[in-house]
Amino acid sequence: MAKNGNRILVALGGNAIKQAEERGTAEEQFKNVNTTAIHIVNMIQHLGKDDRLIITHGNGPQSGNLALQQDIAKEQIPPQPLDVVGAMTQGQIGYMFQNCLQNIMTAKGVKVPVISVVNQVLVDRNDPEFVGENASKPVGNFLTEEEAMRLKAEKGWIVKKVKPNAPKPWRRTVPSPDPIANVEAEAIKILVNAGAVVVASGGGGIPVVKENGKLVGVEAVIDKDLAGERLAEVVEADTFLILTDVEKAKLNYGKPNEKALDRMTVAEAKRYLAEGHFLPGSMGPKVKACIRFLEWGGKEAIITSLDKAVDALEGKTGTHIVKG
């Protein structure tokens, strides 16, 4: 089927579902998702008849909390591995987005179908993320240094400082292998082409490897932005819009000479990445994903905050990454 219109892949950060200072109750998360859904419906209302919107999202706080919850109850109930935890949180968050988007669109008279997909993403068993202390994906709640060191000693967790200026800058990190391909690509394409708003590759997708011709789940959490870029290829997106908790990416983040970026070329983005301006646990994967998207053939990648999404699509704000 020939592609018509403009296709936008929206990658939502964890703040769209759970704020750092929140406990993570269902009520809190529904409130956040509803606020996010209002912005998404606003984007949908700005689309043309042949345009398409595809959504992916993080699940770090949810998967981290669910894994901890299972660890606490392990004497009574067998804990599930991270791939199953990923599937469980995909279902949880997908339900919240479907529910809120459907309710808001019904109230506004917007008739667009919404569906979330339980989605596997292929990774390599030999990825260096599975080796030693290389694990780089933050999951679960933010921690003080004292909390982080205690959990490292008690549970053998790998913990890293991921948000330098935050009151609780530490988080647990788990292997985050590079995504190779989206397993349900064909099904997702059919849904998008049919006009549905599809929520897919949630939390970076359920990590699976191929062993003897079969798909097998592995203990990991794939970065949602890198997996989102693979999803963008699948749906032939024109624009890759990464929504996070800052309006623009910055050079010298957290330092006195911090500088917000309005625009950068792929070459500049690669140079800034190599110079260490974008932290591995936060902005680094976002910029890397944008570079991949543009090198694959996408037209534009944008990094901005959720409340500035429409303005960023109109070129009024955000960090815009272009080919050159």
pLDDT digits (tens, 9 = 90+) for 296-314: 999 999 999 999 999 999 9
Catalytic residue among 15, 32, 65, 182: 15
**What are the pLDDT digits (tens) for 105-119?**
999 999 999 999 999
pLDDT band at 272 (very low <50, low <70, confident <90, very high): very high
- Residue 294 inside a domain? The answer is yes
Look at residue 174 in the predicted model and tell me its pLDDT.
86
Catalytic residue among 160, 163, 224, 250: 224
- Residue 20 inside a domain? The answer is no
Active site includes 160?
no
Residue 305: strand pairing partners = 244
What residues make up the domain containing 296? 239-259+273-324
- Residue 279 inside a domain? The answer is yes
- Residue 255 inside a domain? The answer is yes
| Sequential DSSP letters for 116-146 | E---EEE--TT-GGGSGGG--EEEEEEE-HH
Q: Are 64 and 139 contacting, i.e. CB atoms less than 8 angstroms apart?
A: yes
Helices and strands per DSSP (H, E), number in the chain: 9, 17
Q: Are 290 and 270 contacting, i.e. CB atoms less than 8 angstroms apart?
A: no
Catalytic residue among 13, 64, 65, 137: 137
For 308, residues 6+ apart whose C-beta sits below 8 A from its C-beta are: 247, 316, 317, 318
- Residue 171 inside a domain? The answer is no
pLDDT band at 260 (very low <50, low <70, confident <90, very high): very high
Q: Which helix (H) or strand (E) holds 320?
A: strand 319-322
Q: Are 98 and 199 contacting, i.e. CB atoms less than 8 angstroms apart?
A: yes
Active site includes 137?
yes
Per the structure, the count of domains in the chain is 1
Look at residue 21 in the predicted model and tell me its pLDDT.
83
pLDDT band at 2 (very low <50, low <70, confident <90, very high): low
Region of residue 171 (left: phi > 0; alpha: psi -120 to 50; beta: else): beta
Burial class (CB in 10 A: 0-12, 13-18, 19+), 80: middle
Active site includes 286?
yes
3 state DSSP class of 20: coil
Distance separating alpha carbons of residues 267 and 270, to the nearest angstrom: 5
Record the pTM.
Answer: 0.89
